[in-house]
Amino acid sequence: MSSTVRTRLRLAGALAAVLVAAGIAGGPAAQAHEKPRTTLADLAQRHGRYFGSATDNPELTDTAYTRILGSEFDMITPGNGMKWYATEPQQGVFDWTKGDEIVNLARANHQKVRAHTLVWHSQLPGWLTGREWTADELRAVLKNHIQTEVRHYRGKVYAWDVVNEAFNEDGTYRETVFYKTLGPGYIADALRWAHQADPRAKLYLNDYNIEAVGPKSDAYYRLAKELKAQGVPLHGIGLQAHLALQYGYPTTLEDNLRRFARLRLDTALTEVDIRMLLPATEEKLAQQAEWYGDLTEACLAVRRCVGITVWDYTDKYSWIPAFFPGQGAALPWDEQLAPKPAYTAIREALG
């Protein structure tokens, strides 16, 4: 099948989905004989995978949004509610309100939770960034934060992004407060502490721009190999997959997933969105759809790629426009919660 034909089919499928959702197509007689529609989660489960979405607390008051969130996906990631600034706003004073809200919603909808994130250089509370620490002091602070949070959610989450974005683009370590004070060993320590607090949770390292084979993903490969050799409890690598049409598709993605699998590590596409320069056009949406389909097929091709999470499912709540002015339309549903060609492409890839 030519790419042109595939694109036309995807556009037609997406239009049909929009019309049905809007009640324009499929009259009462037809609908009475329809089987319940399979969701992305249903389709992914047939392959032994999950299909998830991130979410955040402010949008949970949007009932139309939560209806889709609760039915289409089987894995949820809290976008911000489990980060350090939210969970330990004052030293030793913990607040689980936002994280608990999302965990409770997921449990009510029979969904699992990918917990995000324990150690990151960003969104840290002022009490942590506003002073100098000795190595002993910071080590104690880090251990207490990790173990207190992981114990709180013990048995309630499927996996943790333990350390997030530890490397620069050239494969050198990012100069975070943790690296500068504790050295690279903080990563192994963080994994060990998290494992002690919840031995059943899957533990991941997570980063962006590591989808393709290159200096940054090579750094993770070397680190993962070292950690495995040392017996450190690392179970997976999270490839965020924040992509942009103008920068090209990571054509070595499948090869990259396979080499981590050879280390006996799971992989997951953890924060998927595919942004474009606005305005969105039919051609850009078709290209985006093809990329979403290709990402899905790459994960399905590698047994240890366990699932895919989109970084929220709708353009209505995407982080992209605020951080990349003039860009957006990055997700499989539009701002009106209608499915786009990307949604149809994902379904086809999973089908």
The tokens for 205 are 């390292």
Helix (H, G, I), strand (E, B) or coil at 15: helix
The tokens for 119 are 């150690």
Q: What are the phi and psi torsion angles at 226 (to 5°)?
A: -65, -45
Choice among 165, 211, 290, 348 that is catalytic: 165
The tokens for 44 are 């992914």
Choice among 88, 271, 290, 348 that is catalytic: 271
The answer to whether 141 and 92 are in contact (CB under 8 A) is no
| DSSP letter for each residue of 159-212 | EEEEEE--B-TTSSBP--HHHHHH-TTHHHHHHHHHHHH-TTSEEEEEESS-SS
Helix (H, G, I), strand (E, B) or coil at 278: coil
Compute the distance between CA of residue 31 and CA of residue 20 in angstroms, rounded to an integer.
Answer: 10
Is 34 annotated as catalytic? no
Taking alpha carbons only, the member of 232, 240, 237 closest to residue 260 is 237
Is 137 annotated as catalytic? no
By annotation, the residues acting in catalysis are 165, 271
